[in-house]
Structures are given as C-alpha cells and as structure tokens.
A = this chain, B = another copy of it.
Amino acid sequence: MKVAIVGATGAVGQRFISLLQDHPWFKITALVASERSAGKTYAEAANWVLNDAMPKAVASMPVLASDDRLDADLVFSAIPSGTAGPIEEKLSGAGLRVFSNARDHRMEADVPLLIPEVNPEHVALVEVQKRRRRTDGYIVTNPNCAAVVVTMSWKPLHEKFKIKKAVITTMQAISGAGYPGVPSLDITANVIPFIGGGEEEKVQTEPLKMLGNFENGAVKNAAFPISATCTRVPVEEGHSAVVNLEFERITNENEILETWSQWTAEPQKLKTPLAPLRPLHVKREENRPQPRRDWNLEKGMAVSVGRLRKDNVLHYKYFVSGSNTVRGAAGGSILNAELMYAKKML
C-alpha cells in the first residue's frame, strides 16, 4: 500500500521513515512537511537526528505541502498536537486513512485510541466515524508515549484482577519532546519535574479509554482513579514509570508475573511485521528494566516490566520501561495500520 508521511521532517516523522524502510506491506510514496520545507528534497529539508542513517530511498524525494494531492492510500501523521487537528480532518475528509500520533482527536468518541494488543476491538469505531462524519477516510490515533508503556503493562492485569486505583510516577526520555525539544542546559545532570502539553492529564485519562469496553458502537471508559506525575530525566530513549496498583481481585506476585509473561494478543496471532513476539518482557534482575539497556527489546516494540513487589499502601508496585519513539509513537502507529491491514479492514 502507498503511504504518505505528514510531518515527515520532524523527529517522529524520521522514526516513521526509518521503520517503514523495507516494510513488506507499506511503501512510502509521499513526504509532507510545512510550507517552509515544501519544494526541497527530503535530504535538504530534514535535519536528520536519529542514530540510524537516513534511508537513501527518501533522500531525494520531494517534500510536499499538506495541500498537495497525495499519491497514497494511507497517511501516517507525525504532526505536533495542536496543529494536527484540522489537517488530519481534512485528509480523512479527502478519503485517506489517517494514523495519527497527535493528541488532538484521541479522546473523541468516534475515534479509536488504539494499541493493537490492548483494544483491537475498538477499530470498529472507524465505521461509526465514517458514518457520523460522512467521510470515506478516517482517523485512528495512538496514545501518548508514556500512556502506551503503562497501559501495556496494565491490560492483562486489568482483565484478570481489575485495577481499582493507580499511582504513577514517570521518568521520561528527552526524545519524547521532539527536536530541538529539551535544551541541554535544562536537563544535563538534572531532573525536570514537569512536562508541558497536559502530559499528566493524558496519562490519567487515555488508559481509561483504551481499557474501556466497546458496546453498541461506543467505548465505555474504564473508571478507576489514576494519579500521574510526569518528570523528564536525562535519558535519550525509553520512558519509564514506577507504578503502584490496587486490584479488586486478590492475587499474588507469581500470578501477576505469569499473567505478564504469558500475555499475547491479536498482533502476535496475526504475526504482523512489527509485532513483537511478546509484548511484555518480565525482567528478573533486581535492577531492571533500565531505559537505555531495555528500550530496544524486539526492535523497540516490546515493553519490559520488573521489580514487582508488595506495596504498603496500595497492593503491588513495579517498574516499567519502553521505547517512546518506536512503540510509543511511530512504531505504535504502524502497528495500528498493520492490524487493520491484516484484518482486511484498511
């Protein structure tokens, strides 16, 4: 299928390009960026910041403006939140399937907020969306990069033990802020106890939509309280979180560890190209997971959990870490498209 990347010159756009190179199902046919970049070649327009080299295939491709006609079946949108909203609506209005990273449409009732392992049944919302908005195209979103990591560790537990309360403290990587993003003068040898753009609000609400039930053409959100504190740490890649949980059903450490270890879901059954063999890796060492050493598990698509132990205040606590730019952004979005492609819903 022909794929356009909108917001192609930014850090997330670059990650899309990097992950789609040699993809068996999707082929990049259009790169879209701001007015300023349009007309240049991609190599001229983009300040490539990834550690992997820029794929040769895109270097000489022309950068288009979002108004240009796109030779594409689906669109990956890496446009910043705020700007993304109207552009993505226009693209879906024009019949394109838009897979978006931006916050703008995530909490709309007819837009799937999707992690393929967590709530694949929510994709049915696209039919609701198309009917309600009278469009041929549609918008599918993936969640905030910290919310992804946490929600993946919750899904199998919530199914079995039902989460009642959750306290979260995140430690988020600098790449989560894009490029140029966090000034080095702020973060070098420091912790910043705040992330703008409503980060804590996102982490407190998005998981509830994803853990909600799809009934009668709508998602009924889960309804337990989440308290999140989001901080920035001098880590290049990998968002981590300390999570304290209380459950409705009584359980024990072994049961939780087994539930995590054995968890597989739709993408694992479908064996789509980016699907990890196991969405969750349980680390047994007392000092793991660590973002720098573990973010790249299964090419950044697996999340790792560890340090599970009893909690004096809630029931259990643990540490979770996962890639914010792969699983938490571009890779997650591509996996959303893979899910729909494999289920012939694209």
Contacts and interface: CB of A to CB of B under 8 A. Distances in A.
Interface of A: 11, 49-53, 165-167, 169, 171, 174-175, 179-194, 204, 225-227, 229, 231, 233-236, 240, 242, 244, 286-293, 296-297, 306-307, 311-314, 317, 319, 321
A165 to B, nearest CB: 5
A236 B187 CA distance: 10
Contacts of A293: 50-51, 190
Contact of A242 (B190, B193, B311): B193
A169 B166 contact: no
B51 A167 contact: no
A184 B235 CA distance: 10
| Most chain B CB neighbours (cut-off 10 Å) among A166, A179, A225, A233 | A233
Nearest to A319: B193
Given A167-B167, A312-B204, A181 B185 contact: yes
A51 B242 contact: no
Contacts of A192: 287, 290
A226 B169 contact: no
Given A185-B181, A290-B192, A293-B51, A171 B233 contact: yes
A287 B171 contact: no
A245 to B, nearest CB: 10
Q: Quickly give the copy total for this chain.
A: 4
Contact of A190 (B175, B286, B292, B311): B292
Given A229-B317, A286-B194, A319-B229, A187 B184 contact: yes
A233 to B, nearest CB: 5
B166 A313 contact: yes
B235 A312 contact: no
A179 B188 contact: no
Contact of A314 (B11, B167, B184, B234): B167
A313 to B, nearest CB: 4
Contacts of A227: 244, 311-314, 317
A165 B234 contact: no
B191 A189 contact: no
A306 B231 CA distance: 13
A319 B193 CA distance: 7
Contacts of A286: 194
A187 B290 CA distance: 9
A60 B104 CA distance: 38
Contacts of A229: 169, 242, 244, 307, 317, 319
B225 A313 contact: yes
